[in-house]
Amino acid sequence: MAFVDEAKFFVKAGDGGNGCISFRREKYVPRGGPNGGDGGRGGSVIIESVSRLQSLIDFRYRSHFKAKSGGHGMGKDMHGRNGSDCLMTVPVGSIIKDSETGEVLADLCNEGDRYIAAKGGDGGLGNRHFSSGTNRTPRIATKGVEGEELWLRIELKLIADVGLVGLPNAGKSTLLSKLSAANPKVASYPFTTLEPQLGVLHLPRGESCIIADIPGLIEGAHEGVGLGFTFLRHIERTRILLHVLDASSEKAMDDFLVVEKELKSYKEELLLKKRLLVLNKIDIASPDMVQQLQKEFADLGFETLCIAGLTGEGIDSIKLWLADLLEIPNTLNPVQSGTKEEVSPPISASKDSSDIE
């Protein structure tokens, strides 16, 4: 099933029912007076976030959402039936925007968050409301108010604890398959991952966290090159970024700087997240090259972890590492413009972990 993370849709709330013009007509009751009932309220279009959904795929098959209109008022002071609401369910992490202005109307980042996208119209008043001492037989009733209608845009930002970033063929999909039960496509050519992949990582003490594999970036992605920055929004809400590098490449440091530049060009705040460097493919890399990379990244203030995703070497160390980091404040400073900055002391992977907050 295709992954859809943005869509445009139309919402129309129900119109209010019209008020009624009616008079009481009963035997032996002269001048019974007005008894026209009010119209019912129109239903509203309500958007609710639920955790069971992971994509906006439903919007491919339905783009118009309409609530029921209210019933008209009737004689004998009978009120019209209220229109039923239209309840839309969207994934947690959805952002609702005005389609024309781009204004953010709602950010549904928690389970059960609700937003009234279009409010139903009020019902009209029956003629019983217009009776007075000078007008005892009013033949006046008001029409119901039309419900709101507008075009909206919805964008999905996946909510994950850990995001995997890196150039194509760095081994992110392989790492995801080793850390979780996810089964992403793995191949020896670039861009095997064309949409974000999610996996659940079970940590050593029984806790779990969600990992998102973001499709590979390339130089110029923030300008639309390759897959562009289409999926970069999905790492905005991650707590930790695992930057996966191909340690067997002679341009590993250049690859690191390319991704750093693209993250900064998209949104500089991404560099403030806890970011950990994973040197992958050490089973085919030169040991001297791996040691040199570790030294260079240590000089920049980054701690590195060496793994071989294909054989599974180092995977348990990543799990212990994440179990520690998901509990502590953000103390890891980013590297900007290739300069060295002070960072907190390296975090030991052997530190005891407790329940994740």
Q: Is the pLDDT of residue 328 over 80?
A: no
User: Does the pLDDT of residue 349 top 90, yes or no?
Assistant: no
Distance CA 257, CA 337 (A): 9
Highest mean pLDDT among 115-124, 231-240, 249-258, 277-286 belongs to 115-124
* DSSP letter, residue 136: S
Non-local CB neighbours of 32 within 8 Å, separated by 6+ positions: 23, 24, 25, 26
Residue type, 177: S
Separation CA 288–CA 250 (nearest Å): 12
Q: DSSP secondary structure string, 64-130?
A: EEEPPPPPPPBTTTBPPPPPPPEEEEEETTEEEEETTT--EEEEE-STT-EEEEEPPPPPPPPGGGG
Q: What is the pLDDT of residue 35?
A: 92
What is the DSSP code (8-state) at residue 269? G
Domains of the chain in sequence order: 6-156 (2.70.210.12), 162-325 (3.40.50.300)
Q: Which of 148, 2, 175 has its CA nearest to residue 83?
A: 148
Phi/psi for 109 (5° steps) reads -105, 5
pLDDT at 331: 36
Tell me: pLDDT of 184 over 60: no
Q: Is 288 helix (H, G, I), strand (E, B) or coil?
A: helix
Q: How confident is the model at residue 139 (pLDDT cuts 50, 70, 90)?
A: very high
User: In which residue are the tokens 């943005």 written?
Assistant: 6
CB 243 within 8 A of CB 297: no
Distances (CA, A) of 279 to 166, 240, 318, 357: 11, 16, 11, 28
Confidence of residue 319 (pLDDT cuts 50, 70, 90): confident
Residue 58 backbone phi and psi in degrees, to 5: -60, -25
pLDDT in tens, 254-287: 888 888 888 888 788 888 888 889 999 988 888 8
Phi, psi of 175 (to 5 degrees): -65, -40
